[in-house]
Amino acid sequence: MNGVPLRFPVTCPKCGRESLVEFPLVQIADAILNDRRIRLTAPCHGESWNANEIEVQQICEYLDAACLDRRKTSVAGLGLSCSPGDCDRTEGIA
């Protein structure tokens, strides 16, 4: 029920290739709302790293768009506001 995927591009730190990855939307939203780190993985090299501030901002934009799409379904049920203000709360994420 909460398995709504969020797709967004990540750039591999090893080869610089951009790949589309898919994470559970709930997991990403939870991390952003709770100022937790988002662990990203690049499929081409299996490399994983914590999203930096810029990446979190980008992910936040994708999350925002997904929330608009799905407002009537799962996201609304989670009680997420997904307001742009949430994206300003990335200062605490190292």
Least CB distance from residue 69 to Zn ion, whole Å? Answer: 29
16: left (phi over 0), alpha (psi -120 to 50) or beta: left
Total length of the chain: 94
Least CB distance from residue 67 to Zn ion, whole Å? Answer: 29
Tokens of 56: 């979190």
Q: Which residues bind Zn ion (CB under 5 A)?
A: 12, 14-15, 44-45
Nearest residue to the partner Zn ion, using Cβ? 12
Looking at beta carbons only, is 1 or 20 nearer to Zn ion?
A: 20
72: left (phi over 0), alpha (psi -120 to 50) or beta: alpha
Least CB distance from residue 78 to Zn ion, whole Å? Answer: 32
